[in-house]
Amino acid sequence: MEVVSETMSLLLTFGGSGIKEGEVACRDHRLHISLFSQMTKTLYTFGGSIWSAAPELAIVELGYQDGLDVTTKVINLFDGENCSPSFLELNPNGTLPTLESDGRVYTNTTDVIALLVKDAPVKIRSGSASIIETIHEEQYDPNFAMFLARSDEELNAKSKGIHGVYVSRRQPALERYSQETEAAKFKAFYDEKLALNTGMSALFAGKAPADAKAGYFARSEAHFASVKTALFEVFPKFLPDNGFIGGPTPGEEDFHLAPWLTRIAATSGATSSSDALAALEVTYGAPVPAKVAAYWGAWTARVSWKKVYADSLR
């Protein structure tokens, strides 16, 4: 009701020749309610989700009014709420971000950002599909980068940290949701997620078979190398010397790359914008390329980045 009240107050300041101010307000109020119901988007997000940060950045940069043009619903990944039958009805992939708009549901980051760009109050050009696809290639997956462990030392550290908490809290939620009557149609989804989370639970609890642990270390080593290649070789090729891929201000591709880079900085031990480049240098054994450093500086100076990452890097 605050939104409606503020809008009514604004509308009452505008009169019209031959029309009473109250009539203008009422007509515009009805029009506002109609447009509000048709155009408001609902974003499903979570503060610890890397890819939820992409639309959160876009909403600020593209001039959307948070709470008016876009409403937000939090889906707690730690509690497995994205795996509830009710959420799977909305997005069968169980992923974030998810966006509802004009009766349609957008279930992956690329589609969510594309729609926000298309409908934006502040217009920008469409981004390069090939660059966006490259950022989202599985070999550079920033989610696995958070969980990778190349040795017993790294595995023990992560099992005692937020990673272990995440895995342990999701297991009972998955088991509970999978037994609900409405879950029957999503059996394949639950079978896959339970198998994955059960294996991760055993790994983090020190109960995984030796060959499984060795396989995980090998996969982690390969993924670490792929992320390093992306950071030092692949992504700098499409970065400008300064500013953004989209130009002086962020473009569509930038809404994808900023969360990726921020997550990789976080996995390197960074806790703020100021220590990220040093953390990346320690982790990967060399200073980041100049283009990456300039890009990081351009993003972290933005109001949008400071708002989205106010609490922590993710």
Size of the chain in residues: 314
Per-residue pLDDT of the chain (314 residues; tens, 9 = 90+): 333 333 323 222 223 333 333 333 333 433 333 343 346 899 999 999 999 999 999 999 999 998 999 999 999 999 999 999 999 999 999 999 999 999 999 999 999 999 999 999 999 999 999 999 999 999 999 999 999 999 999 999 999 999 999 999 999 999 999 999 999 999 999 999 999 999 999 999 999 999 999 999 999 999 999 999 999 999 999 999 999 999 999 999 999 999 999 999 999 999 999 999 999 999 999 999 999 999 999 999 999 999 999 999 99
Asked if residue 26 belongs to a domain, the reply is yes
Q: Per the domain annotation, does 66 fall within a domain? A: no
Residue 312 within a domain: no
CA distances from 302 to 50, 116, 245, 278 (A): 18, 19, 15, 20
pLDDT on residue 66: 87
Q: Is residue 141 part of a domain?
A: yes
Residue 27 included in any domain: yes
32 plus 152 within the same structural domain: no
In a domain, 105, yes or no: no
* pLDDT one-digit tens code per residue, 209-257: 999 999 999 999 999 999 999 999 999 999 999 999 999 999 999 999 9
How many domains is the chain built from? 2
Write the CA distances from 140 to 172, 230, 283, 285, 313, integer angstroms.
29, 7, 16, 18, 18
Per the domain annotation, does 126 fall within a domain?
A: no
Q: Are 37 and 20 in contact (CB under 8 A)?
A: no
State the Cα angle at 199 between 136 and 84, rounded to 5°. 70
Average of per-residue pLDDT values in the chain:
90
**In which domain, by residue range, is 250 found?**
131-306
Same domain, 148 and 252: yes
Residue 257 lies in a domain: yes
Contact 305, 57 (CB under 8 A): yes
Query: Could you say which DSSP state residue 118 is in?
Result: H
Same domain, 160 and 21: no
Whole-angstrom distance, CA of residue 136 vs CA of residue 68: 30
